[in-house]
Amino acid sequence: MRKVMDCMSDFAPYRKIVMMKGAQITWTEICCNFIGYSMHIAPAPVLMVEPIDDMVTLISKTRIDTMIDACPELLSRVSASKSRDGKNTINLKTFPGGVLRLTGANSAAGLRAMPAKILILDEVDGYPPEVGGEGNPVDLAIARTSSFEGKKKILIGSTPINLSVDKVLNIAKTITTLKIKLPVSGETLTRTMLLTAKHKTIEPLFNKKFWENF
């Protein structure tokens, strides 16, 4: 899990981190750590999306508020969970340099509420395929990061439901790792990259079977 959190650092080159995971493997803790980092070290607007509004309430009250109240550095930046100043509510938590917005994937209004540099999509296999007649909630949420091209961070994770891995796997398929072996030293260079539509046109070149006919 340390590698996943390292990838989310503001200094890491990765813009999209996708994880297909098992249950109860500290994933929520990773999300909370990322939120705490975005409040304290690298302030930015953050959007966190849960499958439904009930999960937003649960995560906000039992995990995020608990983290803020227990950490002096965060508590100096975010109002305590029991304050009445409106700066720390279930769906909205403000801090110097940024804001955390939490919404359910079933809320089109919540998904388009604000631009976000940091996007956390939690348990995407539980998202509805379409919301409010406006499209896929994953696509709607990712569109909110368009103002931060080259700087945004998107964290996506899900535990497969009923052996269905379609959503998280389709997202993961847009990411590939290239390995190039240097002929002289024998050293192998590795680079992980996001495949855009432009990259997909040359994707066959990286398939070993493509070269077997030559």
State residue 37's pLDDT score: 95
The verdict on 184 and 127 lying in the same domain is: no
The verdict on 168 and 179 lying in the same domain is: no
State residue 95's pLDDT score: 94
The verdict on 135 and 79 lying in the same domain is: yes
The verdict on 110 and 139 lying in the same domain is: yes
| Total of domains in the chain | 2
The verdict on 72 and 163 lying in the same domain is: yes
122 CB-near residues (< 8 Å, 6+ apart): 27, 28, 31, 48, 49, 50, 51, 55, 59, 157, 158
Which segments of the chain have a pLDDT < 70?
Answer: 82-85, 161-180, 190-214
Q: What is the DSSP letter of 88?
A: B
The verdict on 98 and 197 lying in the same domain is: no
pTM: 0.75
The verdict on 183 and 139 lying in the same domain is: no
The verdict on 168 and 77 lying in the same domain is: yes
The verdict on 149 and 196 lying in the same domain is: no
Q: Do 49 and 105 meet the contact criterion of CB atoms below 8 Å apart?
A: yes
The verdict on 45 and 61 lying in the same domain is: yes
Pairing between β-strand 45-50 and β-strand 118-122 as defined by DSSP bridges: parallel
The verdict on 127 and 186 lying in the same domain is: no
State residue 62's pLDDT score: 93
Length of the chain (residues): 214
- Report CA-CA distances (Å) from 183 to 180, 186, 187, 189: 9, 5, 8, 11
The verdict on 48 and 17 lying in the same domain is: yes
State residue 22's pLDDT score: 75
- Domain span including residue 157: 2-172
